[in-house]
Amino acid sequence: MSTYQKILVAIDLSNESSKVIKRAKKLAGGDCGKLHLVHVVEPIAAAYPIDAYAINVSKMQEEAMQIAEDRLADIGKECAIDAAQQHIVVGSAATEIRSMAQELSADLIVIGSHGRSGWKLLLGSTANKVLHGSECDILTVHVGE
């Protein structure tokens, strides 16, 4: 029996997401009803300088959201996670993941980490940023490399 009742699984929609979901599913005792998936889409406007007026940033943001929603729906279907338990939000990844965990009253966040070292570690990974300020347990799942 799982001690976690509501698990937020933060994924980047890459092929490595399935490894993170698989670990969360195991922690949930195979009960997908305990899992919520979240993907954070970074604001497109943040990637462009203010004078990039020739770019329709709003349309690009809508397209990014649609692509993310479609990919998340595919992953959710593959992993038997109900559409009501799939969340797409826009903002800073770490902030939005912590906020979603709080909103859902999650008792665990599961997130992938590449286990970077050196200067990339000093800059901080999303998983590290989620850890600081979170009100629930966090499990990082080593993915990639």
- Extents of the domains making up the chain: 7-142
Q: Tell me the whole-structure pTM to 2 decimals.
A: 0.86
Phi, psi angles (nearest 5°) of residue 13:
70, 10
Q: Calculate the alpha carbon distances from 26 to 3, 20, 23, 55 in Å.
A: 12, 10, 5, 44
Tell whether the model's pLDDT for residue 119 goes beyond 60: no
Tell whether the model's pLDDT for residue 53 goes beyond 90: no
pLDDT digits (tens, 9 = 90+) for 97-111: 999 999 999 999 999
Would residue 74 be called left, alpha or beta, if left means φ above 0 and alpha means ψ between -120 and 50 degrees? alpha
Tell whether the model's pLDDT for residue 75 goes beyond 90: yes
DSSP letter assigned to residue 31? -
The whole-number pLDDT of residue 48 equals 58
Tell whether the model's pLDDT for residue 115 goes beyond 90: no
Class of domain 7-142: alpha beta
Tell me the C-alpha distance between 87 and 91, whole Å: 13
